């Protein structure tokens, strides 16, 4: 397995961190979701690096990248990714985004249609809170606000991940470390989310104004949608809403394909990295996104 390089770069006057997994072939930029970090790709990236050139970015306010209190609108955040692509000297990469990261990729491809060869939505790219019946911005801010972990220590968080049902019994050590990477350790030994709560809410505000259904028809590049779903009874309502949103996206996107990741949770890059990596590899290798740039 390749060993990543932790790299730092100045983008538009701000410091950003990314993990460079090396590799040759078509370049692929990996974008994490809201309140996550580049480490959510730590088990997918090395598998992809066997065939492609792989970089995973910590987006602004997340991980080890710039801790700022502005620029969380989609134009600015997607502009960060575009500036990194230019700095790397890449031509028409594929951009894979998880959750909110897929919506960042969508905004980027809509704003700069010739920049990317294709998009991959990993259980994301369809977030449109303002279209949800009965919701207001205040309701979205309340329901999508981050959990509060005041007083938690790294060991408490580690035990929470190890004992929870989210990833099943005995989760891989890489999963635990990826979750812990979402936090920094304070002087008193407790943890605090890297993404400050007020910035999390700023991103929710940006999501409220985000209209994927208006952006889909404008895209020039192919889109591979990899939504996750479960068959458990308690997931029925979420599954129905997700299937509805995916069907709407597929009807509006000029070129798209949907591959459902069955029996998978939202954080599927951690839960089933082999499935995610192989599905991405297969579609790039088969020419879904066109020939190599």
Torsion of CA 205, 267, 124, 284, to 10 degrees: 140
Mean pLDDT, all residues of the chain: 95
Annotated domain spans of the chain:
5-134+208-285
Task: Identify whether 78 is a catalytic site residue.
Answer: no
**Cα Rg for the chain, rounded, in angstroms?**
18
Would the CA dihedral through 20, 21, 25, 28 be positive or negative?
Answer: negative
Write out pLDDT tens, residues 235-276.
656 667 889 999 999 999 999 999 999 999 999 999 999 999
Integer CA distances (angstroms), 160 to 143, 154, 175, 223, in order: 22, 10, 12, 36
Write out pLDDT tens, residues 21-80.
999 999 999 999 999 999 999 999 999 999 999 999 999 999 999 999 999 999 999 999
Residue labelled with tokens 């974008």: 31
Fold classification of 5-134+208-285 (topology level): Rossmann fold (3.40.50)
DSSP 133-145: TT--HHHHHHHSS
Please give the distance of CA 60 from its chain centroid, rounded to a whole number. 13
Beta-bridge partner residues of 228: 261
E strand or H helix at 48, and its extent?
helix 45-48
Decide if 29 contacts 3 (C-beta within 8 A): no
Looking at 36, 99, 256, 264, which residue is catalytic?
99
Write out pLDDT tens, residues 78-111.
999 999 999 999 999 999 999 999 999 999 999 9
Decide if 275 contacts 44 (C-beta within 8 A): no
Write out pLDDT tens, residues 126-165.
999 999 999 999 999 999 999 999 999 999 999 999 987 7
pTM of structure: 0.96
Pick from 74, 109, 94, 124: nearest CA to 228: 124
What is the reported pLDDT for 235? 60
């Amino acid at each position: 397995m390749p060993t990543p390089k932790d790299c730092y770069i100045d983008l538009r006057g701000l410091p950003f961190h990314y993990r460079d997994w090396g590799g040759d072939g078509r370049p692929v930029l990996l974008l994490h979701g809201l309140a996550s970090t580049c480490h959510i790709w730590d088990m997918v990236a090395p598998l992809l690096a066997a065939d492609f050139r792989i970089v995973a970015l910590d987006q602004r306010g997340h991980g080890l990248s710039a801790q700022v209190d502005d620029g969380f609108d989609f134009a600015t955040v997607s502009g960060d990714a575009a500036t990194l692509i230019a700095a790397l000297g890449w031509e028409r990469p594929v951009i894979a985004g998880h959750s909110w990261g897929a919506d960042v990729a969508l905004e980027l491809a809509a704003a700069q249609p010739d920049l990317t060869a294709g998009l991959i939505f990993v259980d994301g790219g369809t977030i449109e809170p303002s279209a949800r019946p009965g919701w207001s911005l205040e309701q979205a801010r309340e329901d999508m606000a981050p959990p509060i972990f005041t007083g938690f220590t790294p060991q408490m968080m580690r035990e929470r991940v190890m004992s929870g049902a989210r990833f099943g019994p005995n989760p891989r050590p890489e999963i635990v470390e990826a979750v812990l990477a979402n936090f920094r350790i304070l002087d008193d030994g407790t943890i605090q989310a890297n993404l400050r709560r007020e910035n999390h809410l700023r991103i929710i505000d940006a999501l409220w104004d985000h209209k994927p259904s208006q952006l889909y028809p404008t895209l020039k590049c192919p889109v591979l949608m990899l939504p996750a779903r479960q068959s458990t009874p308690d997931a029925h309502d979420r599954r129905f809403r997700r299937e509805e949103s995916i069907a709407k996206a597929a009807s509006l996107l000029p070129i798209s394909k949907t591959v459902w990741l069955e029996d998978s949770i939202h954080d599927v890059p951690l839960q089933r990295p082999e499935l995610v990596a192989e599905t991405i590899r297969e579609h790039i290798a088969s020419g879904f996104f066109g020939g190599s740039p």
